[in-house]
Structure 1
Amino acid sequence: MRTIRYRLRGPVGGLAADLAAEARPLAQDDVSHMHIHNGVRLILPTEGIYWKDAAWLALGVSLNARAVAAQNPAGTTIRTVSFKAPLNADVDRQGRLSGGTS
């Protein structure tokens, strides 16, 4: 499993999320998944997720799907273990990111 601290600063605010995910070989029992590209599937966190966050996750996977598929032609499932956003501790009262970067 890999944890990523995503931070994007912009002129009118930014995005902050902590994402934990794992990649594993494609399995037939991956019942609740999104088919992204060929043998690349995405499983969202079991606690649920906001639809716009799910769309951004799917877009991020799709941008790298050809490379992922090339590494494992038999297929890969990317399972999102946890997704936390927004991180209120990293956002000031005006909605701008403060603190650490990653």
Structure 2
Amino acid sequence: MILSTVRRFICGSADCSRRTFAEPFAQLTAPYARFTSWLNRTLERIGLALAGRSGSRLPVQLGFDAGRMTLLRRVMALPDPQSSTPRVLGVDDFATRRGS
């Protein structure tokens, strides 16, 4: 658990919809996040390398409280890798023989 002291700022304008503002921690975590960005990246890498039940054993050994579904959700939340245009196209032999 991380305990931090956050500075709060008060807006002096009367027509401001928000009266107080808190100091952001963009490098540490996102607003309302339950994991730090470092832990999130670590869990993504563990999930990509091991996934599932085997991947859920490693965070326990490292002192993280993350189950297999947490790892799988992290992997599923990643964007799909960019696919490149194929340079060579082959002919399927089975499909060719099937028609004759």
TM category (shorter chain) comes to: under 0.3
Q: Which structure is higher in helix share? A: 2
Say which one has the larger Rg: 2
Q: What TM-score does the superposition give when structure 2 sets the normalisation length?
A: 0.26
Q: Which structure is higher in strand share? A: 1
Using CA pairs under 8 Å that are at least 6 residues apart, name the structure with larger relative contact order, 1 or 2: 1
Q: What TM-score does the superposition give when structure 1 sets the normalisation length?
A: 0.25
